[in-house]
Amino acid sequence: MDSLAIQYAIIYTLAFLVIAKYDIHMFQLSSYRYSRYFRWLVPDNIASIKRAFALLAFAAAFMPGFYGLGFLAGITTVAWVHAWREKFKTPLVYTMRVKRLFAADIILFAIIAVVATAVADEWAPAIIGAVLLLSNMLMLLANLVNTPIEKAINRHYYNDAKRIIESNKNLIIIGVTGSFGKTSTKNYLASVLAEKYNVLVTPGNFNTLLGVIRTIREHLRPYHQVFIVEMGAKQKNDIKEICDLVRPTIGIVTAVGEMHLETFKCVENIQDTKFELINSLPANGLGVINFDSEYIKNYKGITSQCRIIKYAVEGEGEYKANDVVYGAGGVSFTLNGGEQYNSRLLGAGNLLNILASIAVADHLDVPVNKQRNAIARLQPVEHRLSMKVSGGITVLDDAYNSNPQGAKMALEVLKNFAVGEGNKRIVITPGFVEMGTRQAEANKELGATIAKSCDYAIVVNATNRDAIKSGIEESGMPAEKYFLADSLNHAHAQLSQILRPGDVVLYENDLPDNFK
């Protein structure tokens, strides 16, 4: 193999390292699920692949030895790497799984490159260039090779976490799940219970089985008295798997709504999955459920013999918020017309989360005066209808809310938010994803709600653009009052043209980088 071919091989190897990082990043953002990854891969790359091969076929005719074919393949593929065009909102997290996947990907590429160099001679650069074009498939093959290793490692971690849980005999374990509101409820409950107990909560979005396992192994200590476990789900039995590990005695279901319909297929499956928590509770356990959620209220599949407490703002329940007064400083209410509570949190959704916390705190004998003090100090959870004021601009950050019901509550807050004469209410949103056949309809309904709730709207990304625009237009919002943006940076550029001190801006949901 001549020196020119060696130079090309070096170029391809460097290109592969950049491309492999991008491929693995997109796979991580797809939760390492093949179906989600291919839903991103096909629409995002198929047009580029067709153009690339057409260009390569043309260029190869003018480049002796086909070296140009491989070189052009490398350059074309590197051009696909979106990180070169704009900064990712969520960077690649270098977990041990990612490191192992990176290593396997590099090893497979090296094997192909060495074999091609040894056997194919002058065709080697073209073969390596073709591998660059198919780098996605090579990465998935590396993941397949690693699967037995990952399963063995996960099994070891699971058994270790189970041993730790079983050694903490007096630990009170509380599960929190729901289509929305679970993270806020988890944090508010932790703050209230901390008035009496030493509390551990699953951090951030560690709401999968592996996230719970990691929390137990790295953070659970013998001195902890309460362990609050957030439980997320994207398919049936996800909640049950976590419950089988931690065996909660108290469970909270904050809401059931239309989320992850691509995997759940229907709302009934979401109901069954969320109530896996309640149905895992022992007969002497406690289930706390939001009776303002229609899909909770009409659920008939509870099989556990545990005590059930219902809480509500609009409906009826053992824990009912009365005399509710919303203001610029938050909300005040009375519990069942008796004890008064004050909070700086915004929206009916947060009020429901507080009620769930009070119900569990009463069950665990936290004094009412300590509950009131803790609730008065509660801070909004970042990105979940949290509020910041800077330069006279009020920002309502609901970027982690990705469901229709939660968005409707946030838009209601925006609609009723007091602004000065001449000031504007503005929403920035990409809409909802992973809703299966309901996605277009749900985003059209979002557009209609937006038109009735704010003065200006900026629709981000192309994923739901047509559906949201249709709802906005049909509800009568003038064309000059809404804008279409290709990215969040583009949205900010448009926002800067209309934003003035005294305005309020709501960020409703945010899509990861593998949605465009």
Task: Give the structural domain span for 126.
Answer: 3-150
pLDDT digits (tens, 9 = 90+) for 15-53: 788 788 888 988 888 888 887 788 777 655 544 554 455
Looking at residue 8, what is its pLDDT? Answer: 63
Q: Are strands 319-327 and 330-335 parallel, antiparallel or unpaired?
A: antiparallel
Mean pLDDT lowest among 237-241, 259-263, 357-361, 367-371: 259-263
Return the SS3 of 426.
strand
Domain contains 27: yes
Residues 258 and 233 in one domain: yes
Judge if pTM exceeds 0.85: no
Residues 392 and 363 in one domain: no
Mean pLDDT of 428-452: 85
pLDDT digits (tens, 9 = 90+) for 308-317: 999 999 889 9
The most confident of 131-135, 229-233, 485-489, by mean pLDDT: 229-233
Closest CA to 251 of 198, 199, 302: 302
pLDDT digits (tens, 9 = 90+) for 359-373: 999 999 999 999 999
- Give yes or no for residue 70 having a pLDDT over 80: no
Residues 369 and 391 in one domain: no
Residues 483 and 414 in one domain: yes
Where does a domain end: 353, 377, 401? Answer: 377
Domain contains 161: no
Residues 308 and 412 in one domain: no
Residues 347 and 399 in one domain: no
Looking at residue 5, what is its pLDDT? Answer: 57
- Between the two ends of the chain, the Cα-to-Cα distance in Å is 42
Q: How many CB atoms lie within 10 A of CB 34?
A: 13
Domain contains 516: no
Give the CA-trace dihedral at 476, 479, 481, 483, to 10 degrees: 120
Residues 210 and 316 in one domain: yes
Where does a domain end: 336, 356, 377? Answer: 377
DSSP 226-285: EEEEE---SSTTHHHHHHHHH--SEEEE----S--HHHH-SHHHHHHHHTHHHHTS-TT-
Q: Are strands 250-253 and 172-177 parallel, antiparallel or unpaired?
A: parallel
Residues 32 and 133 in one domain: yes
Length in residues, the chain: 516
Beta bridge partners of 252: 176, 288
Domain contains 160: no
What are 199's two structure tokens? 């509390």
pLDDT digits (tens, 9 = 90+) for 501-511: 999 999 888 76
Q: Tokens 């065996």 correspond to what residue? A: 247
CATH of residue 429: 3.90.190.20
- Percent of the chain beyond pLDDT 90? 45
Q: Please tell me the distance from the alpha carbon of residue 140 to that of residue 162, in angstroms, as a whole number.
A: 31
Looking at residue 2, what is its pLDDT? Answer: 56
Domain count, the chain: 3
- Do residues 189 and 356 make contact, with C-beta atoms less than 8 angstroms apart? yes
Q: Are strands 226-230 and 199-201 parallel, antiparallel or unpaired?
A: parallel
267 Rama sector, left if φ>0, alpha if ψ -120 to 50, beta otherwise: alpha
Residues 432 and 353 in one domain: no
Please say whether the dihedral angle defined by the alpha carbons of residues 100, 102, 105 and 110, taken in this order, is positive or negative: negative
The DSSP output letter for 92 is: P
Residues 298 and 415 in one domain: no
Give the CA-trace dihedral at 31, 33, 38, 39, to 10 degrees: -60
pLDDT digits (tens, 9 = 90+) for 164-195: 999 998 999 999 999 888 999 999 999 999 99
CATH of residue 173: 3.40.1190.10
- Give yes or no for residue 81 having a pLDDT over 60: no
Residues 371 and 417 in one domain: no
- Give yes or no for residue 84 having a pLDDT over 50: no
Where does a domain end: 360, 377, 394? Answer: 377
Looking at residue 303, what is its pLDDT? Answer: 95
- Give yes or no for residue 263 having a pLDDT over 80: no
- Band of residue 54 on the pLDDT scale cut at 50, 70, 90: very low
- Band of residue 341 on the pLDDT scale cut at 50, 70, 90: very high
Mean pLDDT lowest among 118-122, 312-316, 345-349: 118-122
The DSSP output letter for 400 is: T
Strand order in 226-230's β-sheet? 199-201, 226-230, 172-177, 250-253, 286-290, 307-312, 319-327, 330-335, 340-343
**Position with higher pLDDT, 156 vs 91:** 156
Return the SS3 of 105.
helix
Domain contains 156: no
Domain contains 12: yes
Domain contains 444: yes
Annotate 49-74 with three-state secondary structure.
Answer: HHHHHHHHHHHHCCCHHHHHHHHHHH
Q: Please tell me the distance from the alpha carbon of residue 359 to that of residue 138, in angstroms, as a whole number.
A: 52
Mean pLDDT of 283-297: 95
Looking at residue 417, what is its pLDDT? Answer: 83
Q: What are phi and psi for residue 420, nearest 5 degrees?
A: -75, 165
**Position with higher pLDDT, 450 vs 434:** 450
Domain contains 515: no
Residues 320 and 411 in one domain: no
- Band of residue 58 on the pLDDT scale cut at 50, 70, 90: very low
Mean pLDDT of 444-465: 88
